[in-house]
Amino acid sequence: MPDFEVVVVGAGPAGSIAALSLARLGHSVCLLERGPFPGSKNVYGGVIYGRILDELIPHWWEHAPVQRWITRRGTMLLTDHQSLCIDYRSTAWAQAPYNGATAYRPDFDKWLADEAVKAGATLVSSTTATGLVRTNRGLVGGVKTDREGDLMANVVIACDGVNSFLAKEAGLYPNFSKDHLTLGVKEVLALPRQEIEARFGIRSGTNEGADLEIVGGTQGIAGGGFVYTNLDTISIGAVLSLGGLSASKVRPEEVIAGLKAHPSLAPLVDGAELKEYSAHLIPEGGFDAMPEVVGDGLLVAGDAAGLCLAAGLWLEGVNYAIGSGKCAADAVHEAIAKGNFSKAGLVSYKDRLEATFVLRNHRKTRKAAHLLLSDRLQNRYPQIACDLLEQLYTVEDPLPKRGALTIGRALWKGSGLRIRHALRDGRDALKIYG
């Protein structure tokens, strides 16, 4: 007799939503978390896109522990001394139902897990799942924990994050590799509220906020950066490919220091006091690096399933975690009704993912990681774009003005890049963003 119908491992967004949905469907579910409270182990950049929550937790924006509502989004290209920023602002995002919000994960994840508990899930924290328990028919029938006694269930949903030891133990992650991972390092810096609003051009006295995604500026390591505003802190960080990082001489915190010292970012963070330094891995391999997500008695969701979208314009994972957690819960609900917990009984999970934004977006952006981490996108194109603007904006009287095309052609020649590569990159970019 199992202790619960379902055990969900990991109280991140994927796990909490899986547990919440199952509890609402009337199932007994245990939500296992290794940290002292949900969110205590979790780090991200800082913006949650909550549209997917609308149905699950109506009016979530009135209850979620939000820092600021994003009303300004910038995508920034950096070279050593130049920067180019596409800066979009909208006051429409300052009203319900909003678009993105900054929040601290120890607050947000705890809130979401509390919602699951309210729905009837049993939260067990300070407990690490150390392995899978198999029934005599070979199905996963529970987890071993670092406490005396195993936790038995009909189905296990592994929402245990990027390192998912459970998916690996089940043999679902044969091609787990550092090439599909990036390291996120982050500093949270304190500044007075009004100062943040002034520096980021946010209407003062509001809880509106800004979000900057950065390409380049990572000292030769393929990756990117981000800057987000919280109520009285700024989150600034770098995302670094593990391959590039381990081959480099620059340490992660030095990359952040480089970003903070860049002439176009320094004025934003100047004089701010470090409140917390943190680090976490990101599964950036995209669609092609995903593990198997269905096993016998086991489903994998969220970061554990590699469902994180890191594609320059976008750095999103929480919404995919929530989406996949919901799909997993629905698939398990169906399996319980049929009484079939084998792979065949759970396979509707895959179809559900395919039918929603979760896998559709990942399929569409499958080339993103490769494109974004390429040298051309990391260094060469930003350089050309910045130089082009520099020459266009520089007034060189009495010399006659040169047109953008002339400048562009000269820069392209000087760069040694091939048209053929640029065409391919253009085609890929169109597939991803088009």
Partner 1 sequence: MTDISRRESVLAFDDRMATVDFRISHTAHITVDSEVCRSCTTRACLVACPAKLFVTTNDGGILFNYEQCFECGTCYAVCNNEGAITWNYPEGGHGVVFRHG
Partner 2 sequence: MKIAACIKWVALRPDIDPLSGSVETDDRFSGVSAADQAAVEWALRMGEAWGASVTVATVGASIAESALRDALACGATTAIRIDIEHPLPSAAVGRELAAALADADLIVCGDWSLDRGSGSVPPFLAHARGAEQACGLVALSLDATGVVRAERRLDGGRRERLIVRAPAVLAVEGSTARLRRAPLGGVLSSARSSIDVRTPSTPNPAEPVRLVHARPFRPRTKIVDGPHGSVRDRSNALLGMGSTRTPPQRLVLDPEVAAEHILAALHAWGEIDDPASAEGQ
- Choice between 146 and 270, CB closer to partner 2: 146
Q: ω into residue 400 within 30 of 0, thus cis?
A: no
Which helix (H) or strand (E) element contains residue 143?
A: strand 140-145
- Choice between 161 and 382, CB closer to ligand FAD: 161
**Binding flag, residue 278, partner 2 (CB under 8 A):** no
Contacts of 374 (CB under 8 A, 6+ apart): 222, 425
- Residue 80 CB: number of other CB atoms within 10 A? 12
**Binding flag, residue 37, partner 2 (CB under 8 A):** yes
Q: ω into residue 291 within 30 of 0, thus cis?
A: no
**Binding flag, residue 105, partner 1 (CB under 8 A):** yes
**Binding flag, residue 305, partner 1 (CB under 8 A):** no
Distances (CA, A) of 322 to 13, 62, 294, 309, 377: 6, 18, 17, 13, 30
Indicate which single residue of 261, 337, 344, 392 sits in contact with partner 1 (rule: CB under 8 A): 261
Contacts of 183 (CB under 8 A, 6+ apart): 239, 240, 242, 245, 252, 279, 280, 281, 282
**Binding flag, residue 339, partner 2 (CB under 8 A):** no
- Residue 307 CB: number of other CB atoms within 10 A? 28
Of residues 142-171, those binding partner 1 (CB under 8 A): 145-147, 162-163, 165
Q: How far apart are CA 84 and CA 213, in angstroms?
A: 12
Q: How far apart are CA 9 and CA 1, in angstroms?
A: 19
For residue 420, count CB atoms less than 10 angstroms from its CB and return exposed for 0-12, middle for 13-18, buried for 19 or more.
Answer: exposed
Indicate which single residue of 28, 128, 391, 415 sits in contact with partner 1 (rule: CB under 8 A): 128
Write down the H helix ranges in 191-300: 193-199, 242-247, 252-261, 266-269
CB of 65 to partner 1, least distance (A): 12
**Binding flag, residue 280, partner 1 (CB under 8 A):** yes
Q: Which does 249 bind (CB under 5 to 8 A by kind): ligand FAD, partner 1, partner 2, none?
A: partner 1
**Binding flag, residue 254, partner 1 (CB under 8 A):** yes
**Binding flag, residue 249, partner 1 (CB under 8 A):** yes
- Choice between 103 and 371, CB closer to partner 2: 103
Q: Which amino acid is at 129?
A: A
Q: Which does 260 bind (CB under 5 to 8 A by kind): ligand FAD, partner 2, partner 1, none?
A: partner 1
- Choice between 106 and 220, CB closer to partner 2: 106
Per-residue binder mask for partner 1 (CB under 8 A), 33-52, x = binder = -xxx--xxxxxx--------
- Choice between 41 and 73, CB closer to partner 1: 41
Q: Which residues pair with 226 in a beta bridge?
A: 213, 237
Q: Which does 181 bind (CB under 5 to 8 A by kind): partner 1, partner 2, ligand FAD, none?
A: partner 1
Closest-approach residue to ligand FAD (CB): 317
Site residues (CB under 8 A) for partner 1?
34-36, 39-44, 104-106, 125-128, 130, 145-147, 162-163, 165, 177-178, 181, 183, 185, 188, 219, 230, 233, 235, 242, 245-255, 257-258, 260-261, 274-281
